[in-house]
Amino acid sequence: MDMTMESCRKFVEVLASDAPAPGGGGAAALVGAIGTALGNMVGSLTVGKKKYAAVEAEIIELKAKCDALQKELLDQVEADEINFVPLAKAYGIPKDDPNRAQILEEATLVACSTPMKIMELCCQAIEYIAVFAEKGSRLAVSDAGCAAVCCKAGLQAASLNVFINTKTLKNREVADEMNAKALGMLDKYCTMADDIFNTVKSGFGV
């Protein structure tokens, strides 16, 4: 089931239940999409204003990128569920099955793929939000700060869904490579999101 087609209330109800999905990955994707949309809203409130005519073309181009990014993040909610199913099934294989280890390894790699993608998309969103925060309407700058916070949360949440899976991989070279990539994204883009938030907050004199 594509939970993004349900109401917000239904999504939260299912999230709180014992259903295997949506879980942390789907929630991370949704939060990232919400953050991206908030940044996009700043752009929408900037376009058409004489005060921001000099940056209008740039903002319009950025809005188009965010439109696509929002959709892609929402698509990851269902993708995360689909890619988790093989791992959930693999854990049910009898431990004396000679193929269990290989099936688990392959399913774990599949399960890692979506949260890694969510992380990459949240990083893109934070880059776009930095521009909205700098050049967008000052009347909506608080929303740019909110957008950065949401996308940082999505980034961090998705990373935990990577790390819980890489921990069990037998191929440690692959695990270390994925961990390094995820840690690199966290280091760079959490800092960037924090900078956006702090700059916005300091603009309010607090």
Quick check: 1 pLDDT over 80? no
How much of the chain exceeds pLDDT 70, in percent? Answer: 100
Task: Please report the pLDDT score of residue 82 as a whole number.
Answer: 93
Quick check: 48 pLDDT over 90? yes
Map out the domains of the chain with their CATH numbers: 23-202 (1.20.120.680)
**Amino acid sitting at position 20:** P
Task: Compute CA 51 distance to the chain's CA centroid, rounded to the nearest angstrom.
Answer: 32
pLDDT for 117-126, tens place per residue? 999 999 999 9
The C-alpha atoms of residue 163 and residue 18 are separated, in whole angstroms, by 22
Quick check: 5 pLDDT over 70? yes
pLDDT for 145-197, tens place per residue? 999 999 999 999 999 999 999 999 999 999 999 999 999 999 999 999 999 99
Contacts of 20 (CB under 8 A, 6+ apart): 81, 84, 85, 88
